[in-house]
Amino acid sequence: MEVNVLNISGKETGAKVQLPEAIFGVEPNDHAIYLDVKQYLANQRQGTHKSKQRNEIAGSTRKLHKQKGTGGARAGSIKSPLFNGGGRIFGPQPRDYSFKLNKKLKALARKSALSYKAQENNIVVLDEVNFESVKTKNYVNLVNSLNIANEKTLLVLSAQDNNVYLSSRNLKKAKVIAASELNTYDVLNAGKLLLTTASVKTLEEAFAK
């Protein structure tokens, strides 16, 4: 798939870049995408939720009343889950939600997500993106020049650039990552995928391994 290369002003440079069919033209596998997104979201969970069981509640263990003869149900202590302020039955406990996936499956999921973006013509290739200083206005001017100010954008750079990253950080619909950090969730969550000519080469080398 051949795509015209634009500059940060949104004008064509006259150059074209070939998006590798092995990455941007595969048959998308929806189940692989599902598993990869599920893993990504699961790995974001802290898993620090916790409720106290009856043995962790602060309170007296005195028997509230005698076992029989009161006309009411038997009760062992005020910490019983049946009473207000008592322990919780089968409450949440700290746990790790992360799980592993095969590398080939994760690669297939990323290729599938990139192929969907290519099929929908939602990929924009820029010659390079460099900001001299950290200003949100720089990134706003970039998306305005490309006429995609109202869409979620994911800018993929060949390497981390703090000026570009910090310039986009205040914008809700913008995200900047390095090619090495590319993941299925971010690709699908973005309306427009912005690549640079250098990041296309980086992705091609990464998937070739």
Q: What is the pLDDT of residues 26-52, one digit of tens each?
A: 999 999 999 999 999 999 999 999 999
Interatomic CA distance for residues 196 and 37, integer angstroms: 24
Residue 192 · residue 122 · CB < 8 Å: yes
The helix (run of H) or strand (run of E) holding residue 128 is: none
Phi, psi of 55 (to 5 degrees): -80, -5
Cβ neighbours of residue 158 under 8 Å, at least 6 residues apart? 178, 179, 196, 198, 199, 201, 202
Of the pLDDT bands very low, low, confident and very high (cuts 50, 70, 90), residue 13 is confident
Residue 191's contacts (CB-CB under 8 Å, 6 or more residues apart) are 122, 148, 151, 152, 153
Report pLDDT for 10: 83
Contact present, 41 and 127 (Cβ < 8 Å): no
**What pLDDT digit, counting tens, does each position of 73-112 carry?**
999 999 999 999 999 999 999 999 999 999 999 999 999 9
Q: Is 55 helix (H, G, I), strand (E, B) or coil?
A: coil
Residues in the chain: 209
pLDDT for 189 equals 95
Task: Report the share of the chain in percent with pLDDT over 70.
Answer: 100
* Residue 73: Cβ within 10 Å count: 6
Q: Which of 192, 161, 198 is nearest to 176 (CA)?
A: 161
Q: How far apart are alpha carbons 174 and 111 in whole angstroms?
A: 22
- Compute the distance between CA of residue 21 and CA of residue 111 in angstroms, rounded to an integer: 10
Q: What residues does 4 pair with on adjacent strands?
A: 16
Residue 2: its pLDDT value, please?
85
Q: What is the CATH number of domain 2-45+101-208?
A: 3.40.1370.10
Count helices and strands in the chain by DSSP H and E runs = 7, 6
pLDDT tens track for 168-179? 999 999 999 999
Give Rg (Cα) of the chain.
27
Does pTM top 0.75 for this prediction?
yes
Domain boundaries, the chain: 2-45+101-208, 49-96
